Structures are given as C-alpha cells and as structure tokens.
Chains A and B, each alone.
Chain A
C-alpha cells in the first residue's frame, strides 16, 4: 500500500505553454505530469502521484478565490496523504501560487503539504506556516531539488520527526531546533573565524535579531515653549474611520485636525486597531491618544502648545517597511510645521 500524492504544477511544467498560456484555468489530470516523474522515481514505489493539478500562474493570481475553491474540492475528493507543489524555483507567481494553495490545503483540509522554491521567491513569505524546501533559483536546479523534496516528502508522509532546517533542507521556520553537527563547536568556531579573517563567506549559526536602535535626540530644554505633537499606532481615528485605515497590516496613515478639540469622545472618535479589545479605547479614546491631558498641560503652561494635527495608523501586523515609510513621510510634515517633539503612543 503506497502513499497517495496529489501534485500541483503550472502551465509551463505541464508543457501547455509559457507566459502566453498562464491564464489557463485549473485542470485535474490522472497520474503524473512533467516533473512528477522525478518524485515518483525517487520514491521507488513507496508513494504514487495519483492526480496532478495544473493551473496557469496568472489565473491563480487573478482568480485566487475560485482557483482555491476548485482545487480544494478536487483534493478533498482524492484524499491524498500529501499535497506536493512545484518546485517553483524563482518564478514569483508560481511560487506564490504553490505556497498559497499549500497553505489552504493544510489549513482547510488538514492534509500534509510540501513545496519547494528559491529563498527569495515571494511565496517563501509563508515559510513559517508551511514546509518549503530551499532550491536553486532556476529550473536547472531540478536535478537536486526533486530528490531533496522527495526525501522530505517521504519523511512527512511517514510521520517521522523532522530534523533541523539545515539538516533536512527546508526553510527555517523561526524555530530553534537542536541537532548534532559532525564537528564540535570549538572546531566550527575556529573554522568560522578563519573564514571571517580571510574575508570569505561564512554562515552564522545564530543570526542576531535586529533591533534597529535609533539614537535619541537631545532633550528639550524648555518644555513650556515647545510644540508637542501626538502620534499613535493605536489606531485612533475620527468616528466612522473616514479614510478606511485597515484593522491590521495598515497600508496608509491618517492625518487629522485637532483644532478646537479639547478631548476625544466616544461620539467623535474610535479605534480602528484590530489587535486589542477596543471597548475601553472606544469608550474613551483619550486613553490611547491623550488629547485631554495635553490640553490640560497646555492650559497650565507646562507645554507651549499641542500641535493642531495628529498622525495615526494601526500597528497590528503592519510591516516594518511600511511603518518606516509612514513615519519618514509625516516626520517631514511635523518638522516643517515647527514641532519640537512627538509623543507616540502604542498599545
């Protein structure tokens, strides 16, 4: 009794055509098509590709919902022991399709999945959710990729415990896994130092987390003369969220006037942030954007004034790149307006 596998490939590997045929809708074929043969040969009878799904890369990109629904239906009916996709090498849309359909099959059908692609393929963004074998960046790497994927696939189908990513050839899933290296640590260290000294490439066994530290500016000498702006990643927006700032993975920031506003109220403001329980922020938005306290300080002469504009976005799942982009942009506006300091609130 051998394991049953469903294989997913694109129009190119199915020999339908190149870019010009990337619009083809999904088809279900019996048995092996194209690179499936390499896997089947590697499995030597222990596993068999019973069905192959072929789908155009453009079709998947433009009709993701329909493509997923159709493919999931086929996979469910076939009930395989493994759903295998690609390898996609460096083909971006193919890699995206492989990773996305694998994740759907895994999450919604509970079927084991495996795909393969080059580390920089956009599909590799899903490496923490699904098993992705690291391959070369072009189809010339098929000779190495197929056996590597086949081997790992067999381990997965047999339910064997996986080794560390570097042992089994899959992309690191941000989980530290122990394994026994061939050489002891001190020897590895001497080798690594010699490479470093010779300006030769080396790979650290533990990449330091990057903290992106920013050196603080000098302190404000006289607060009573300073203009302070309020900014937030806590998602405070005017009631109704007029600019539709997303509750997570925000794609933009909002810029709103505080002219004539003495405090935020439940009637006039709300939070758009989807990452925390909004009840208290909605009931009293000053809790996240403390306009009321700033106005008090203004009246008491403790600060010069509260800047008339506040900048807001949602920090939930928002990429570091976007966060940097927003701030770089509105920091310039703040500078131009003569703001001396910013209070940034988060949650």
Chain B
C-alpha cells in the first residue's frame, strides 16, 4: 500500500470571515467551524456552546484540561477519507495522496470529569515536556449542556466527534493547496516484500491500544478496540486517521489522535524500510481489563508474529498499570516464538525515583526504551492566559492539596502534562 503525504507548512492562525490557507497562514472563521461541528446530532444534543482561541509557541498560555489533539488532514486522491468509520465512510484508507497542515493542531479542551485531564504550556519549563507547545494550536473549548453530569458517555462522544469535525473542516482548506514538501510511504505484500528485500530482517510494529472504558478507549475505523481481536493494519492507514483516541487518562501517557496520525514508530521504521529492515505491517492489539481477554490478545499477537515469519517487533503500550501486564505478556510470548522484541514504555518510579517502575516484569524484556518517570515533580509557573479552566487544578495528579499555588503556579508530577512520557517514543525524554 502506497501513500503520499503532502505537507503544507502552517506558521500562523488568524480568525477571519474567509476560510483559506495561504502563504503558510490558516485563515478560519470560528463560527463556520462551529456550524460544521453542530451538523452532528450528538454534538447538537450535548454541547451547549463552543468557544475558540489560538495558542502559539512561546506565548505565556496554558491550555487545560486537554481532551484531544488532532492534526488537520485531507484525502486529495485515492479511496476513502480522513477518520474512516467516524467522519468518513469505512472505506480502507492509507493509499493515494493526503495533504497535511503541518505545524498546527486542533486542541479540544474543557471539563469532562471533575478531575484534571491534561495541561499544555506554550512556554516555560512545562513546554519542554509536551510536543504540542511547538505547534500553532486552534483551541476548541466545549461547554456541556446543563444535565451532562448524568450523561458523561454521550458528552465524551460528542466532544470527540466535535474535535474530529473541526479538524476535518480545517483540513479541507488544504485540499487545493500545493504542498511545500511531499513524502512517499510504501509497504508490500508478504511475498512481494520477501522478493524485494530478501536479506533484510522482517520487522513489524505491535501497537497496543488503550481499551478499558469511558475516557480509556481507542477506535479503529470507528470500532471500539475493546471489542476487537488482535489484527493487522497497514502502517499508512494510521496516517489517514484510521485510529482515533477516546483516551483522556492519564495525560502524560495517553496517545492523542495526533500521536496516532503521526505515529513515530511508524515514521522511524519507514526511515529504515528497504535499507536495514523490511517494515512488514502493524499488528494492533488491545489492553482489556478482563484477564482472559489479555491472554487471548497476547496469544494472538504472538501467533500473528510467528505466522508473518517476523524477525523482530517493536512493541509500544499506552496507559498506566494493567497495560504493563499486557506489555510483558506480549513481549514474553513474542520472544518465545523466536521473534526478537524491543519495547517502549514509561515509568512510575515514585517521586524519589526509587520505586519499581513497572507493575510487571520479565527477564525476556531485555530491550527497553523508556519515555521517562512520570512521577517526577515539576513546578509550572503561572501563565498570563489560561484557555479552558483551572478548576480542580488544585488537586491534580501528583500534587498534594495546594498543587495550585497562590501565585498561579502549579506543583505537580509530569503525569499532568499532555504527552510528557509518551510510550510510542514521540519525545526525547528518557531515564536511567
């Protein structure tokens, strides 16, 4: 499957009546975006209002609580459309041409639950820990209808759809723009791949998806990953939004939709594809709470690795606690069928860094990359502007009562920063 991505560099966002992308600036009418979002019945039913804002790199701005981050893209040639099974129809994506508005993102914000869900600081020490401080962010703050407390599932769904619709609306503005840069990505069928690269090790990416319940879900072509059996995906499908995030907890190691669209393992495997390895495919698997599901999923992951005659696999996980068990189960079983693994995780080694980092372990997991210790305490200075709300920041993860200090600064663990210890290896943060 072959996909060409066309990158349109966005370096500024301006509100204006006319919606277009010109000379690296996105001109957009928030009212038009709002109208487009409200075309969806669920959004209409559960969201009282939206407000909009722009946050640029280097500004003294704090966005919180962050629900999702999405990159605007548009399918310009080939089958299907962005976010298949959710916004577009279920046609298989990942081929043809897709334009990408690079350098910006749609950020959805606003309370869904009463405890904190994520902070993006556009400057200051916190900015170093999130990749989203480097983007021009079009922020959509959602306000729920009055009786949403009894309908959190419906509200979460509505905000999720709204964000994807906003990204779709804005992505569409890039349809007829000539990209600044194009890049091609191609993977081959099993037989074709072996013939083309007879001497290169066959490598797949085992991509574990968070799948436990409200605020802990991932959707593949619109299907709840909780309900899915382990299966295969072409890597380029992820570039068209085949996987979207319904995961809001915990901020530091949840994969936003932006992470799924810009999966760094996919990108870095492609860098080596045809040179030092043959990138065969992605294997997606879930992280259910029910133990028999964990066993079935990991058995199937190993089964597929063996069936595909792989030499090696990179395994990434998502989330805290019980996914460590899936990670270790997957790693053990894959190693036991003779396929070598390297895994990516983050750590919860306590504020002093002395506790055991993972909830599970096995000596077969001998090649580990870490996204850092999420319990490390950081002081986030007050920002001039807050987009969203600071309600409940006083008690956010890792803080103690008094997390939010009088001067507006926040003392909390890295946990609270969106994307800080990402387990796909998106960041340079590590630990020893």
Contacts and interface: CB of A to CB of B under 8 A. Distances in A.
Q: Is there a direct interface between A and B, measured as CB atoms under 8 Å apart in the complex?
A: yes
Interface stretch (A22-30, A88-96, A207-215, A326-334): A207-215
Contact of B367 (A167, A174, A193): A193
Nearest to B279: A190
Contacts of A196: 312, 340, 342, 367
Nearest to A188: B369
B354 A181 contact: no
Interface stretch (A198-206, A257-265, A309-317): A198-206
Nearest to A208: B361
B373 A178 contact: yes
A328 B267 CA distance: 52
Interface stretch (B219-227, B380-388, B419-427): B419-427
B353 interface: yes
Interface string A153-172: 00000000000111100001
Interface string B256-297: 000000001101110110001100000000000000000000
B430 interface: yes
Contacts of B427: 184-185
Given A193-B312, A208-B362, A179 B430 contact: yes
A178 B430 contact: yes
Contact of A185 (B313, B352, B371): B371
A140 interface: no
A164 B432 contact: yes
B88 interface: no
A182 B428 CA distance: 6
Contact of A183 (B313, B340, B428): B428
A293 interface: no
Contacts of B432: 164-167, 172, 176-177, 179, 205
A37 interface: no
A175 B368 contact: no
Question: Which of A182, A183, A192, A208 has most B Cβ within 10 Å?
Answer: A208
Interface string A223-258: 000000000000000000000000000000000000
B429 A178 contact: yes
Contacts of A181: 428-430
Contacts of B340: 193, 196-197
Contacts of A167: 432
A194 interface: yes
Most buried by A among B268, B316, B342, B430: B430
B401 interface: no
Contacts of A193: 203, 312-314, 340-342, 367
Given A178-B376, A197-B201, A206-B357, A185 B342 contact: no
Interface stretch (B94-102, B300-308, B343-351): B343-351
A186 B259 CA distance: 12
Interface residues of B, number: 55
A205 B312 contact: no
Contacts, number: 150
Contact residues on A (Cβ < 8 Å of other chain), bracket = 35 or more
A184 B358 CA distance: 21
Contacts of B313: 193
Nearest to A185: B425
A235 to B, nearest CB: 27
B176 interface: no
Contacts of A189: 265, 268, 314, 316, 342-344, 369, 425
Given A184-B264, A185-B426, A193-B340, A205 B361 contact: no
A165 B430 CA distance: 12
Most B CB within 10 A of own CB, among A166, A190, A192, A204: A190
A44 interface: no
Listed residue (A176, A185, A190) with the most chain B CB atoms within 10 angstroms of its CB:
A185
Interface string A25-64: 0000000000000000000000000000000000000000
A187 interface: yes
B65 interface: no
A193 B312 CA distance: 7
A204 B368 contact: yes
Given A190-B272, A206-B347, A208-B361, A174 B354 contact: yes
Interface in B191-236: 201, 203
| Best-buried of A167, A178, A205, A210 by chain B (most CB within 10 Å) | A178
A215 B353 CA distance: 31
Contacts of B345: 206
Contacts of B353: 175-177
B114 interface: no
B354 A175 contact: yes
A197 B373 contact: no
Contacts of A164: 430-432
Interface in B85-137: 128
Contacts of B369: 185-186, 188-189, 192, 205
A193 B343 CA distance: 9
Given A175-B354, A178-B372, A186-B264, A194 B272 contact: yes
B141 to A, nearest CB: 30
Contacts of A206: 345, 347, 357-358, 368, 370, 431
Interface string A269-302: 0000000000000000000000000000000000
Interface in B130-155: none
A342 B174 CA distance: 73
B76 interface: no
22 contacts: A178-B414, A179-B429, A179-B430, A179-B432, A181-B428, A181-B429, A183-B428, A184-B427, A185-B344, A185-B422, A186-B369, A190-B342, A192-B367, A193-B340, A197-B340, A205-B368, A205-B370, A205-B431, A206-B345, A206-B357, A206-B431, A209-B361
Given A185-B370, A185-B427, A186-B424, 20 more contacts: A176-B353, A176-B354, A177-B353, A177-B432, A178-B429, A180-B128, A183-B428, A184-B264, A185-B369, A186-B316, A188-B425, A189-B343, A193-B203, A196-B367, A197-B277, A197-B311, A202-B367, A207-B368, A208-B365, A208-B368
Interface of A: 164-167, 172, 174-190, 192-194, 196-197, 202, 204-211
| Smallest CB-CB A-B distances: 5 pairs | A185-B425, A186-B425, A186-B264, A193-B342, A176-B353
